[in-house]
């Protein structure tokens, strides 16, 4: 139980740091280079998507380690033990899509719940970042049109 707690804390903390650094990097990059607003928004969207994919793969590696360890239970259902199945489970859990064809057992249920909560927070964080980025362009556009 303690090992599961430590792994889960490490996964969530690493994901939050990755996301913070990705959004912070996108913000700084947006301040340093001048792009047409559509390109800047696309850069923000693709940058955030890349961060989300990295975060989902991090959880997938966590699942892969845990299902291979004798200290945890496994994922069941349509699961063959492969890294790609761990990634598929991670992607559906992070996004809260949850098809239900793979299900966690034992301590992995807690990991899956934490991943769903973490994914919700990271996706919401990205949405607010993109809203603020778009709002900046809307304000600039209104100021330009009123002159």
Confidence of residue 61 (pLDDT cuts 50, 70, 90): very high
Helix spans in 33-98 (H): 37-68, 83-94
- Average pLDDT of the chain is 91
What is the CA 27 to chain-centroid distance, rounded? 18
87 domain residue, yes or no: yes
10 within a domain of the structure (yes/no): no
Among 41, 20, 50, 8, which residue's Cα sits nearest to residue 122? 20
**Residue 83 sits in a domain of what CATH number?**
1.10.287.70
End-to-end CA distance of the chain: 64
pLDDT digits (tens, 9 = 90+) for 13-44: 999 999 999 999 998 988 888 777 778 788 88
Q: Checking phi first, is residue 98 left (phi over 0); if not, alpha (psi -120 to 50) or beta?
A: left
Count: domains in the chain: 1
Position 113 in a domain:
yes
Domain span at residue 80?
A: 49-141
CB 102 within 8 A of CB 75: yes
Residue 30 resides in a domain: no
């Amino acid at each position: 139980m303690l090992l599961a707690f430590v792994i889960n804390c490490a996964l969530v903390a690493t994901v939050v740091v990755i996301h913070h650094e990705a959004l912070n990097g996108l913000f700084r990059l947006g301040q340093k280079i001048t792009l047409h607003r559509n390109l800047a928004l696309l850069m923000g969207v693709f940058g955030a998507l890349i961060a989300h994919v990295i975060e989902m793969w991090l959880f997938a590696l966590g699942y892969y380690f845990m299902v291979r360890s004798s200290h945890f239970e496994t994922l069941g259902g349509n699961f063959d033990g492969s890294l790609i199945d761990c990634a598929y489970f991670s992607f559906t859990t992070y996004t809260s899509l949850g098809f239900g064809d793979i299900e966690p057992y034992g301590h992995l249920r807690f990991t899956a719940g934490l991943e769903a909560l973490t994914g919700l927070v990271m996706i919401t964080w990205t949405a607010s970042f993109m809203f603020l980025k778009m709002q900046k362009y809307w304000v600039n556009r209104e100021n330009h049109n009123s002159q």
